[in-house]
Each structure stands twice: as structure tokens, then as C-alpha cells.
Amino acid sequence: MPTFTPFPPPSRLMRLGFVGGGAGAFIGAIHAQAARLSSRWEIVAGALSSDPDRARQSGREWLLPSDRTYADFRTMARAEAAHPQGIDAVAIVTPNHLHAPVAEAFLAEGIDVICDKPLAPTVEDALRLVEAQQASGLVFGVTYAYAAYSMVRQARAMIRAGELGDLRQIHVEYFQEFAATLIADAGGKQPWRVDPARSGGSFTTGDIGTHAVHLASFVTGQPATSVRADFHVSGEPKDLEDTAFCHMRFGCVPGTLMVSQAAIGNQCGLRLRVFGTKAALDWNQERGDELIVTPFDAPAQRYQSGFAGGLYPEARRLARMPRGCPEGILEAWANLYTELGLAVEARRTGQVLPDGMLGYPTVKDAAAGVAFVEAAVRSNESGSWEDCELNASTDEGSTGEPGLPGKGVSVQS
Amino acid sequence: MPTFTPFPPPSRLMRLGFVGGGAGAFIGAIHAQAARLSSRWEIVAGALSSDPDRARQSGREWLLPSDRTYADFRTMARAEAAHPQGIDAVAIVTPNHLHAPVAEAFLAEGIDVICDKPLAPTVEDALRLVEAQQASGLVFGVTYAYAAYSMVRQARAMIRAGELGDLRQIHVEYFQEFAATLIADAGGKQPWRVDPARSGGSFTTGDIGTHAVHLASFVTGQPATSVRADFHVSGEPKDLEDTAFCHMRFGCVPGTLMVSQAAIGNQCGLRLRVFGTKAALDWNQERGDELIVTPFDAPAQRYQSGFAGGLYPEARRLARMPRGCPEGILEAWANLYTELGLAVEARRTGQVLPDGMLGYPTVKDAAAGVAFVEAAVRSNESGSWEDCELNASTDEGSTGEPGLPGKGVSVQS
Amino acid sequence: MPTFTPFPPPSRLMRLGFVGGGAGAFIGAIHAQAARLSSRWEIVAGALSSDPDRARQSGREWLLPSDRTYADFRTMARAEAAHPQGIDAVAIVTPNHLHAPVAEAFLAEGIDVICDKPLAPTVEDALRLVEAQQASGLVFGVTYAYAAYSMVRQARAMIRAGELGDLRQIHVEYFQEFAATLIADAGGKQPWRVDPARSGGSFTTGDIGTHAVHLASFVTGQPATSVRADFHVSGEPKDLEDTAFCHMRFGCVPGTLMVSQAAIGNQCGLRLRVFGTKAALDWNQERGDELIVTPFDAPAQRYQSGFAGGLYPEARRLARMPRGCPEGILEAWANLYTELGLAVEARRTGQVLPDGMLGYPTVKDAAAGVAFVEAAVRSNESGSWEDCELNASTDEGSTGEPGLPGKGVSVQS
Amino acid sequence: MPTFTPFPPPSRLMRLGFVGGGAGAFIGAIHAQAARLSSRWEIVAGALSSDPDRARQSGREWLLPSDRTYADFRTMARAEAAHPQGIDAVAIVTPNHLHAPVAEAFLAEGIDVICDKPLAPTVEDALRLVEAQQASGLVFGVTYAYAAYSMVRQARAMIRAGELGDLRQIHVEYFQEFAATLIADAGGKQPWRVDPARSGGSFTTGDIGTHAVHLASFVTGQPATSVRADFHVSGEPKDLEDTAFCHMRFGCVPGTLMVSQAAIGNQCGLRLRVFGTKAALDWNQERGDELIVTPFDAPAQRYQSGFAGGLYPEARRLARMPRGCPEGILEAWANLYTELGLAVEARRTGQVLPDGMLGYPTVKDAAAGVAFVEAAVRSNESGSWEDCELNASTDEGSTGEPGLPGKGVSVQS
């Protein structure tokens, strides 16, 4: 194992603002905790709700200064850009249909972006954001947080180093039960997540299938290239699929994807298996701090996160505790915020980071996710295989790493 | 839990003969050990090889009397039928293409049959055997042995009792690594298993896909009705698939099947997951003596085989040891031989066995397996969904139980 | 399950200072990350090293204001007490022999204390701190962080609710490998941890045995009352034990304790098993977000942390994420900082918290740990059972909860 | 890994008789199934009960010839010795107090012995059997069957090969729940197992503690040399201990033993952990077909039984199935009967078996178990350490292998 370079310490805390995340929003609290745990960010501003009263109330709960609690994201973007201690980056944790307009507004003001998926309702919209990011040279991170588990990084490093040999099969699954009982609201309307008008053509494929595909591509270095999908409603009746089974091609490697949010008895069952000509790897999010690698005709080996032998720099660098001290999903999220903090600071200071130090997902990865969902929807209708790769001019980003400051004008190639 | 009726004791050991199983044949030894472990059979005759010298030599190793060591299965069938202490049943453990002719020969002599899968190269051939069995009223058991694990029986009983609610998804997978390195023999010829001329249109779908489909149907009570297959060669080049991914319909329940014999890092990874409206079940052959059942929003429960609380009669009846004493695959095989011993004895004595006591797979289950393989091969070629159900006159057998003596002229309906 | 009251939101961030934790100190970073993750603290001052240069350098790395970076803890205590925005609490993460004098210095200035164990070298010293805390009415939390895992809280709640019946056996073990190779430093001197002059009569019993005993007492409500110890050196030669096996009495419940820091192949193997007349529980730190409960003659049940059914308020209140999203040890540490933040804020504001909301370990728990270590050392020498309970006037604290503001003049009874 | 010599095939089935095992006796059926599964024995005679009617009835159920169904073990010993096809060996599965007199009766007739533990009520009685075996040169196997799991053999081979380095700690535990509710019979009398008059000074230490100690000694090659015991009643009141915690010395290696048969929530929880200077091993009977080995600062490795890479000949030779096909406890029992069949055949034919091929426990191992129980009882009374080693003239047997035909006049040294 090569020795590793630890992350450089921050010269100051990066300043983070939030759009969305107000009262009751679960995901906003995750971002905030992860940013704090990373020890690289302070949260200083927010437009936490589109409802002005809730925005104010949430701002107080978040202990934000009242003059930096905004009722409207456009106002916030302009005000923060003008503020002498303005935010370095915005975290976008709104309902899905707002991701793209909010991101555009902050990019336009020169503020780095951290955005939840899905990026945009259509590939065209997503590609417009890719272009906006490329033109601006700003950091644009997307919170496929599972890929930031240290054992996922170990998995990727082992594949890159050839420990699995040539890849022959890629299987990824993600089973949850939460939407089995999802029903119409009091007024008889479907929740927005399962309303085709507001969510596009997919519920679960977009919501968690994109996580699964990103994970598979990130670890194996193979973009999802085509898909044959079989959509179902397994839970209470709804207008969009809550279950999808897909035959996949990741480059030339065949595989499968299974996702369901109405799989009773399952919680957060994201599991990736890759079979190569030398060994298999098996990573399961519910025991995310371990990685099982089984070579041909040999005992299975259980890697664990932490200060541990046998880890590649990409995994070892993320250790906070000794091996045997479990690392949870918030640590994965915090890893993402650590890398984004580094990237944002490097962009502003011109600091050159070592090759391979950063692994956060980019706007291109998010656009690849949108392309996958569109293709899966088409395939479910046509019964045929459908291409799901982004066009050639951008596809290298779909499984790659963010570019690095010093290599060009922007931190993303 | 209802109380259970244990298996009635044998009045004598049933007499078993073997066709196949000679020197070096792994599967013959499994059958023989299972028959002995069941304490219901004695092995008294055999045509262990088609090579006369090997037949004699193997007969000596098996400690068979020399006058009941045959060089030819047809001679054996006639001689044993005429013998005053002739065999009650024959175990057929030959290469696949001989299963059907050997079975026919013994059925014709009025001898009960225990046969490995695949039953026959085509559905037509398989149905001819079904008809022969029906006409004869003889016992015809097929060694889908995984279905005889007590925890598989528990799974089936729980579903029948409604503990899972309505079924919504069925996923079955079976991953092995052994054929990853399978290569041509010294003369440059492919082994018979991967030779289309000798194995029909499928290698792995037939070899282990049938086990997986039978298991899924047996546990859920749902026959495989249609399939959309995606075949691959993951291991060394060969002329037939060593890997298949299938979208499935089990009756009205959607699901998936994944099988590979070139999945490096995997051993005997047969796993069945069923998701219902109340709970999920998860059974994994490599830990075959446990069954995980997880109700909605509640802790997972781990059932174990043995003299244990919480088991249905179908599982409890198979216990040989206290809970916590592991039950292996040979015990599953022995369970099959116990049930077949009971069925053979009951057919001969007219004994009436309680409803639901027997669960061994029948010739119809085996025919259903052949139909599935044919449909999968067709689907891989057509790219479309293909029907895989046997025709209506026999389909109840594909997931049902063997008929019982006393209910009609034969032990199978 | 009763419904639960969530933690009240903070009215402001509590201000935290550090003594110790400078460059290279692993445990300081854990405290700091946990405090940040709790979203209830800001770190504003520190005497991070007794070496002035390292103190300044570490202060810069922690991004502390230079005028609140101290070279000396006594100066810091006085200055912060006088500061208009002075720290609300101090986190003491120094080498062990400094814990007591630093704590005394801050208590004397009216500043709440968060202290690592061991509290003090002798029971007498420890009791002096207990008295100082009692006299002052200040919050004094001790970082037995394992007890703050939500599944440990679930275990305690289940025992309190009678789900295990009467307790009959308590087994706790803690195996690590890190000190197997611990050797003399360059000058030939033993590290301070294994130097009797600096560490008292025990290495491992004090270092991790105290964690194990606290965990057992916390979960079961039974103080360690007597011990019969067998000390060993399993790793490289050293002057103090790195391994101890103990027969225990926890009140009237017999049990065992096994600890080693030279147990090669073990990482952070802290495991508690409690056997009652109705069920057993099994908690293992390396999979700390699950809890296995097995009733008599019934399937084992696996509880998981998170927003999950079946959890008592004590566990449910600590959830940050849905079930299935792993919670690591930093979340346990952060739970501790959440409770300490609440306690410190409540002490200052007079807020009355609901009964049973707080579970952080107190100075009395820490004193009980010191008493246990002394008794184990005596027992290893005498070969006899030795009492290890604190005297009656304080023993209720050894397994109890911190007192609550509003119930008396102090937050600790 | 060296290549291995498989077991030689039998020249004929060895003839086995049973004393004990009649109607309702659980353990007799285990022996019988194991003997059959080994494919080296036929069961031809029995004195299955001391009650003549039950003896006859059980003989019929076992399908024994009526003229070889005896009502009395002494008659059986004489008659079988005189029979031209008399039994080669007797399996003794009576209540404990009959083990010694039955064994003596068959040894006196020149018949090999397979006996359950405990061997005898006192060390003196046990040593008399050791002497009788030594004088006769007969095979005397004892059914510590856990030691016949192939993964236990792998564990022993790895330690012998130095893969663990020097041994530093040995921990063995065995927890069951079955006697938690054990109560007086209808007449108000305690069952014989917990009646001091019939069971000697110990219940659980003798019943399962001996299994645990044998396992530890067998795997590590270290005899139990001294013990400090702490006895308890954890279940319903009884006159003998159902729970014992022991500090141990295995030669110069310290360790612990924990056993209970009133540990609710535990089934057959026999677990051995050995920590060496290079690696740890962990074997758990409830997953007896796997073995976890964890080297210092390296991933844990999971060995599995079967036709598998990485196994030593001692483990590989016992494989019946491919890796991934679970091996249960009956396979371990059958391994024992395979070895005993080989030993009995070799003694009669003068066949010389390769060194290290046999690992069955001998009468000396059983005598060592009796010595351990006596010492534990003394220690619990005295509160002191007590020696538990057999005297020097026999102690090599306590952890050794059976002697081999061809090396001397007897198969046991």
C-alpha cells in the first residue's frame, strides 16, 4: 500500500448558505450536520423556506443572523454575492423542481453550488447546468453521498489497482419500504413525489435508482450505457413506479439494477456487487463501514474503515477513528463536505491539490443520472433496450473525478 | 402454532438401486449419503457406470453384492423387477441426456424413480415422462433438494398462513464461481455441459436456474409464468451461457432471477427474497438453517431450524437436533429421501399419509423447469417476454405437493 | 411504545473550550467533531498543549482566536471566567494525571466540566471531585461515550421495562489489539500508559475495563459490587497488565469481564450480553447501531437505530436518520454532547427538562470506575474477591442518571 | 498447502451395536444417523433399554433382528463376542452412571468402544478405564463431536503450522437455555441430571464444560492445567450449578471458560477464540462450517468447509460437498464415525494409516474431562486455583491424537 497524503487543514471555515431545509425538512438537517462534522464549514445564511414566516422561524431555530435569513432564493443570491463575508457556497435542499433554477441563480452570482439530486427534470435542463458550470469554472457538487463512504473509496481503489481483474458483472440494488404505504393526501391528491406532473415520468428510479447507478459507475469506472427496464407498483396504488428492475450495460460489462421503495422489510438496502476475473467485491450500505472481497477459491476478506492496514490512500485519508469504531452515513456525508470544502477553498485560493484527493460527484454525474432515468422510462414503455449515456462531449465526467485546481481555470474539467 | 404429526417409522428399509454414480461422480455419493442419513433406505444394487470395468470396480467400492452390480441400466431394470427382494426405487444420477431413457426404463418395470434434473432435453420429452408417471401411478421424485431445507418449508408455511400478506416481489439469485475457469478438455473439445449438441440451448439456466425457479415457486406457490432473459458468458469463452439475468412473472407477482456459474467470489449463493404487504422473507442457502423474516417497521426476526419454538409443522417435523445445532445441505437431501421413502412405502402398503406431510418435488415440477429453460433461451434470442408455464392440464403440479396414497390410484395426482 | 418528546432546540450555541487536544492528539479531534455534530456547541477557546509553541500552533489549526489560545489551563480558567462571552464548559482531553487538577481549576471558576476518564488516580481523589461538583452544582459529564449509542439506550429501556425479566448473568468484554506491540520509546523508557509511576497500578483495566464496567452498569442498572481479577501481559513485555479476566458481581447478578489491549485480531470489540429470565440481549460496539434481543425459545430480533418502530423514547429521541442508515461511534459521542449541551444550557437558564431525557455519565460514574480499578488491582494481588462499590452516600450515582435542573439546586443530585 | 491423502475406502461395513438409545432417547438417534452417514457402519444389534419391553419395542423400531435385540448389556457383550458376525464396536449412549460399567463389560470381551461423556463419576474410575483400554489395545473413542467439524480441524492445523504465532489467550464459552426451566418431576424429585447423588458434584460443568475444555485443548494442543471456578444457579432452583465461570490455565496460556445451561436466549452457543502473536481465530458452533482468522492489522478472513482452497489436509479430507454447501453438526458426528470406522477396521486388519489422519477423542481425553470437572468443583468450594491435569503418565493423551495401528500393539498409545 502506498502512503497517503492527509487532507490539508483549512485556512478558514468556508461560509455556507442554505436554500430549503426549513421546519420539518429532514434532508436539510443532514446537510447541516455533515457540514459541521467536516469541521470545514460554518452555516451563516439561508432561505430556508419559500413561506416567509417559516423561513424566519426556521432561521431562528438554525441560529442564523436575522439579516441573513432570506424569504427568497434570488434575493439571497444577490445579497450574499454582495456581502463582504458572503457565502462561499450554497447548499440546495429544496423540492426537486427547484434544484435547477436555484443552482442557476447562484452560479450566475459566482457562488459555488452543492445540490441534491435529481439535478433537473430533463436531460436538456441538466446539460444546460453542466454548461453553466463549465462556463463559470465554479465548483458544483452533487450529494450522491453513498459514494463518499471510505469503504466505497476502497472498493474503487481496489478495482483501479486491478485487484478484481477484468470486470464481468455489476449488480446493484436499493430496497426501501417507506413508500409501501404512501397514499393520497387529505384532499385526495397524490403527494408530489408520485405526481407525474411534478415528478416527471419516474418516482423511484429517479429517487433512488440514480443513487444506485451512480454508485455502480463510481466504483467500477463504467458509465451506465444502456438499460432495459421493467417498472411496477408494489405498494399502495400510485401513478408512478415505486419499483424497477433493470438489465444494464455498464460500458461493456453486463449487470442488473433492482430498486424499490415499496419493498416491505427493507430499510436502506443499497448493495453493490462487482464480479471480476480475480475476485468479487460486496458492499452493503447498512454495514457501510465494511467491504467484503472474495478472491477466486480463497477465503473472503472483510475490510473495515478507520486507521487500518490494507487500505488505499483514498479510503485511509477519510479515517477519523481506529478500525472497529463504526463509521456511519453521516460520516460519509461529512466526507463529501470535507472534499467540497477543500475544492471551494482551493478554487478561491488557487491551491493545487494532489491528484486523486477529491472524489465528490459533479454536475456531470448528476446529468448522467437524469439521462439514465429518462432512458429507463422510455425502455419501460418500449420494452426495448435504450441508450442512457450522456453525449460524448461530457460523458467522461459521468464516472470521473472532479477536476483539480491548478489543472485549468476551473476545478471541474 | 399447531402441533405436528411426526413422520411414521418405517416398517422396513426401502431398497434403492443406482444408475450412475460410479468412480469420481460427486453427485452419486450425495444421494447415497442422504439415503443412509434418512434411515429409510438401503442401497442394494447399481449400474454405476456404462463402462463395465468401472461399473464393477465402483460396485465393489460401494460394497454392493456382485450379482446386483450391473453394467447396463436396462438389464438392471429387468433383473431387479424380477428379483424377489428387488429394488423399490431407482436413483438416476447419470449425465443429463440419460435421465429420460433411464427413467422410462424403470417406470416401465413398475419401479419408483428418483431423478436428478434436468428431466429431459425438451418440454415434449418431459411431458412424455409426466404422462408415463401418471399412467403408472408410480412415485417420481426429482432432487430439487434445496426445497427440502426445513427453513424453506418454514418459509412456505409462513406464506401459506398469510404472514407475509399478499406477495408483491419475488427475487431469486444463484451465483457460483466454479465454471469461470471451465475450459476445453485436452482434445480441444468443450466439456459436455457447455456443448450445445449435448446440453441443448442452455448451460447455466438449465443447471442452476431451474433450482432457483423451483425454489421460488415452491415457497411462494406461484409458478413461473413468463420470462425476459439476458444471457452472457462471464467466464472463459464457451458456446453456451454461464450467466443469465431474467425479469420474471410468477403468476401475477413480478420478480427477478439472476444466475451465474462464472461469478468469481461466489460459492453456492442461492438466495430467495419475497416481499409481501406485511413482511419480507430472506433465505440464503449458505446459511440454510436460518430464515430472516422482517415485518413492516419492526425488527427482523431470525428463525432457526431444529427443535425450536415458532416453527410450523412442515419445518418442525424435519428437526433432528435442538435449535442451534446447524443443519447442512446433506440434511436437506436426507429430508428428501425421508419423504421419498415414506411415499414409496405408502404406495406399496396403501398407507394413507396426512395431508401436507410430503413436500418432495415431482416430475411435473421438473417438467416445469424444462419449460422455463426453453422459454428463457427463446427470450434471450427474441429480446421479448416469453411464456414459460406448462400447459393447463398439468400446471397445478408445478408448485403443488405430491399427491398422497389413499387419495387416488397413484401417489401423484 | 410511548410517544417521545424530542430534545428542545438550543437558544444559542454553548461555548466550549478545550484543555489538551493539541497536535497529534487523537481524542481531542473526536470531542471537537462530536461537539460540532451535535449542533449545540461552538469551540471558542483552548489551552491545547502545555508547550506554548504547540499550543499556539494547534490553536491556529483549530481556527481559534489567538487571544483565546492559552498556554496554560489555569490562566485559561481565570480568563474565560472573566470573559463576557466566556466558555460555558471545558472539555478536558489531557493525559490522565491532569484530569483532576484541570477539572478542579474550572469547577472553582464556576465552569461546567466535560472530562475524559479516568477521573483521578485514586478513589480519594475521585471522591474529592465528586464533592467539588456536588458543592458547586455544576454539570460534570464524563465521556463514557459507548453508553450514548441509541441502541445502548434501547437496551437500558428494555431492561427497565422488564422485557428481559429478572437479570441472571451479565457478561462484558472489550478486546483490542493496539497494545500488543507497544514497546519502550527510543530512550528505553516505557510509554506513560504502562508506567506504574504515571498510570497507577493498572494499564488496561483502567483504560478500557472502566468503559466496559460502566456500560454494564448503565444498561442493567446494577453497580459493580465485587470483583475477582486475573491480570496478564499478553503483548510485548510491560510493567502493567494489558489483559484482565474478572469474575464479577453486579449487585446480586453474577457475571464476567474480559478486557485486553493485546488481543491480536481484535479492534474495538466491546460487547455486552445480559441474560434474564425472559430474554437475552447482545450489543456489540463494532455493530453498534443494532441490538439483538432473543426471548426464550423464540426467534432472535434485531433492532436497528434510526426512525424505527419498536424503539423506546430514550433510543428514538437520538435518531438523526431513517432506520438502515448506519449510526457510527461519532454519533454516540455527539449524543453525549447533545445531552451535555442541554444540561449546560438548562443549568444556566433554569429550564426544566423532562425526566429521563438525559443519560450522560457523571462524575460519580467516573468515581465508580476508579473504585473498580483499585479493587481489581487489589484482587489480582490477593487472589480474593474485593469490594468495588463506592460508599453508600454516593453510590446511587454510579448507575443512575444525572439529576435534572428544576429538581434541585444542581443538575446532578 | 500440502496435498492430502483421502480416507481409504472400507473393505466392509463395520458392525455396530448400541447400549441405550431406546424410545425417546435423543442422543441414540444422533449416533445412529452419524454412523449411517459415514457409510462405514451397519447397525446390527442393541440393548436399547434396561426395560425388556422397551428394549424389544425399540429394537423393532430400529429394524434390528429380534435375536440380536438384548434386554441386558452383559448378555449382549457375551453373545456378540461369540457371534460369528458379532459387532466390531459398541456405542454406549446410556445415562451417565452406566458409561463405565458398560465400557468395561465390552472391553473385557474384546469389543471396541464408542462412548458418550462423561466417562466416569471420578478420576479414579476414569483412569481405571484408561488402564483397561491400554491393556487391551482396543479402540476407545469418546464423542466430543464438536472437535470433528472440519473447521475445527482447520483451526488446529493452522495453529500447528504456526499461523497464529505463539498463543497468548484462549477463551471458550458454551451457552444454552434448555435448563433454565428444568424443574422437579411429578414426584417432587429433581431430574437425575441435577441430583448430586446421581450426577456427582456438577451438572453443567460436567455436561457441557467438558465439551468446551476438550475443544480448547484439542485445537490449541494445550491441556487444561488449572482452574478457578465460580458456580451459579441461573435458572430454576436446583441442587447443582447450571452456570460456571472459570479462569483457566491451558499449559502456560491463560484463558477463560464460561458455561451455562440456563442462559436464556442462547441455544448451542459453543465458541472458541484463540489469540496468538500473529493472528486470532474465532470458531462458533452455530456457524460451525466457517472459521474466522484475523491477522494483526489486516482484514478478517472467513474460511469455509468443503472442497475449498486454503484448507489443510486435516480439514480438506472431511469435505463431502463443494464450499458454500453448509456442513452441519451431523456431518461432524459422521466425521467421528468415519474415523472410528477406520480405526476399528485398521485394528482388525493391521492396516497402517498415515500419521495425522485420525483425530477422534480417546478415553484419555475423556479422563482429562473428568479431572477438569473435579477440579472445578473443588475450586468453587475453596475459592482457589486447583490443578486439573491428569497425572504425568497419561497426560499426553489429553490433547493428543489417537495412536495409530502399526505404531504399536494398540491403536492408542
Q: CA-to-CA distance for D412 and D402, rounded, in angstroms?
A: 5
pLDDT of A176 above 70: yes
Q: Which of C282, C302, C303, C305 to mutate to test the interface with B (most CBs of B within 10 A)?
A: C302
Q: B279 φ, ψ to 5°?
A: -160, 165
Domain C147-325+360-387 has CATH 3.30.360.10: yes
Fold classified for A14-116: Rossmann fold (3.40.50)
Q: What is the ipTM of this complex?
A: 0.93
The CATH architecture that domain B149-323 belongs to is 2-Layer Sandwich (3.30)
Q: Do D321 and B269 touch (CB under 8 A)?
A: no
Touching chains, A (3+ CB pairs < 8 A): B, C, D
Q: CA-to-CA distance for A157 and A219, rounded, in angstroms?
A: 8
Rounded to 5°, angle at Cα D301 from D300 and D302:
125
pLDDT of C192 above 90: no
Mean pLDDT of chain C: 91
Q: CA-to-CA distance for D177 and C280, rounded, in angstroms?
A: 10
3-state helix, strand, coil in chain C (%, to 5): 35, 20, 40
Looking up cell 446480586 gives: C252
Touching chains, C (3+ CB pairs < 8 A): A, B, D
Q: Which of C249, C264, C267 to mutate to test the interface with D (most CBs of D within 10 A)?
A: C264
Which residues does D372 contact at the CB level (< 8 Å), separation at least 6? D205, D209, D210, D213, D224, D227, D388
Q: Which residue of C has its CA nearest to B322?
A: C297
The CATH architecture that domain D149-323+361-387 belongs to is 2-Layer Sandwich (3.30)
Q: CB of C181 within 8 A of CB of C261?
A: no
Q: CB of D177 within 8 A of CB of D134?
A: no
User: How many C-beta neighbours within 10 Å does residue A383 have?
Assistant: 13
Residues of A in contact with B275 (CB under 8 A): 175, 234, 260, 263-266
- pLDDT by 10s per residue, chain D, length 413: 667 889 999 999 999 999 998 866 788 999 999 999 999 999 999 999 989 999 999 999 999 999 999 999 999 999 999 999 999 999 999 988 899 999 999 999 999 999 999 899 899 999 999 999 999 999 999 999 999 999 999 999 999 999 999 999 999 999 999 999 876 665 666 777 788 877 778 999 999 999 999 999 999 999 999 999 999 999 999 999 999 999 999 999 999 999 999 999 999 999 999 999 999 999 999 999 999 999 999 999 999 999 998 899 999 999 999 999 999 999 999 999 999 999 999 999 999 999 889 999 999 999 999 999 999 999 999 999 999 998 634 433 433 444 333 222 233 33
Q: Do A280 and B265 touch (CB under 8 A)?
A: yes
Q: Do B297 and C308 touch (CB under 8 A)?
A: yes
pLDDT tier at A391, thresholds 50, 70, 90: low
Q: Which residue of D has its CA nearest to C167?
A: D234
Q: CB of A119 within 8 A of CB of A366?
A: yes
Mean pLDDT of chain A: 91
pLDDT at position C185, please?
60
Cell numbers at residue C120, please?
483521578
Q: Which residue of A has its CA nearest to D307?
A: A297
Q: CB of C138 within 8 A of CB of C307?
A: no
Q: CB of B306 within 8 A of CB of B148?
A: no
Distance of CA D193 to the CA centre of its chain: 18
Domain A148-323+371-387 has CATH 3.30.70.250: no
Q: D354 φ, ψ to 5°?
A: -60, 145
Q: CA-to-CA distance for A340 and A329, rounded, in angstroms?
A: 17
Q: CA-to-CA distance for C394 and A84, rounded, in angstroms?
A: 55
pLDDT at position D186, please?
59
Cell numbers at residue B250, please?
410468477
User: How many C-beta neighbours within 10 Å does residue B371 have?
Assistant: 27
pLDDT tier at A182, thresholds 50, 70, 90: confident
Distance of CA C134 to the CA centre of its chain: 19
- Which of residues B171 and A184 earns the better pLDDT score? B171
Q: Do C276 and D264 touch (CB under 8 A)?
A: yes
Q: Which residue of D has its CA nearest to A310?
A: D298
How much is the average pLDDT of A215-225? 98
- The strand order across the sheet containing B41-47 reads B41-47, B14-20, B89-93, B112-115, B140-142
| Interface residues on D facing A, Cβ-Cβ cutoff 8 A | 293, 297-304, 308-310
How much is the average pLDDT of B59-78? 96
| Interface residues on A facing C, Cβ-Cβ cutoff 8 A | 9-10, 12-13, 29-30, 32-33, 36-37, 39, 61, 63, 176, 178, 266-269, 285-289, 304, 306, 308, 320-331
| Interface residues on D facing B, Cβ-Cβ cutoff 8 A | 9-10, 12-13, 29-30, 32-33, 36-37, 39, 61, 63, 176, 178, 266-269, 285-289, 304, 306, 320-331
Q: Do C301 and B304 touch (CB under 8 A)?
A: no
Q: How far is CA A350 from CA A151, A340, A345, A407, B252, in A?
A: 30, 15, 8, 10, 60
Residues of C in contact with D260 (CB under 8 A): 169, 275
Q: Which residue of D has its CA nearest to A291?
A: D299
Question: Mapping DSSP to helix (H, G, I), strand (E, B) and coil, where does residue A142 land?
Answer: strand
Q: CA-to-CA distance for B49 and D36, rounded, in angstroms?
A: 24
Q: Do A280 and B264 touch (CB under 8 A)?
A: yes
Q: CB of A263 within 8 A of CB of A243?
A: yes
> Which tens digits make up the pLDDT trace of D92-144?
999 888 999 999 999 999 999 999 998 998 999 999 999 999 999 999 999 99
pLDDT tier at A287, thresholds 50, 70, 90: very high
Residues of D in contact with C254 (CB under 8 A): 230, 232, 234, 243, 245
Q: Which residue of B has its CA nearest to D26?
A: B321
Residues of C in contact with D281 (CB under 8 A): 265
User: How many C-beta neighbours within 10 Å does residue D193 have?
Assistant: 19
Q: Do D301 and A299 touch (CB under 8 A)?
A: yes
Mean pLDDT of chain B: 91
Helices within A1-122 (DSSP H only): 26-37, 52-61, 73-82, 99-108
Q: CA-to-CA distance for C37 and C145, rounded, in angstroms?
A: 14
| Interface residues on A facing B, Cβ-Cβ cutoff 8 A | 165, 168-169, 171, 175, 177, 180-181, 228, 230, 232, 234-235, 243, 245, 247, 254-256, 258, 260, 262-266, 275-282, 293-297, 300, 383-385
Residues of B in contact with C309 (CB under 8 A): 297-298
> Which tens digits make up the pLDDT trace of C242-286?
999 999 999 999 999 999 999 999 999 999 999 999 999 999 999
Q: How far is CA C298 from CA A217, B316, C165, C280, in A?
A: 43, 13, 15, 11
pLDDT at position B191, please?
76
Torsion of CA A176, A180, A184, A189, to 10 degrees: 50
Q: CA-to-CA distance for D162 and D175, rounded, in angstroms?
A: 30
Q: Chains B, C: CB contacts under 8 A, how many?
A: 31
pLDDT at position B189, please?
67
pLDDT tier at C128, thresholds 50, 70, 90: very high
pLDDT at position B395, please?
37
> Which tens digits make up the pLDDT trace of A329-351?
999 999 999 999 999 999 999 99
Q: Which residue of C has its CA nearest to B298?
A: C309
Q: Do D280 and C262 touch (CB under 8 A)?
A: no
Residues of chain A with CATH 3.30.360.10: 148-323+371-387
Which residues does A261 contact at the CB level (< 8 Å), separation at least 6? A176, A177, A178, A179, A180, A203, A204, A207, A208, A235, A242, A243
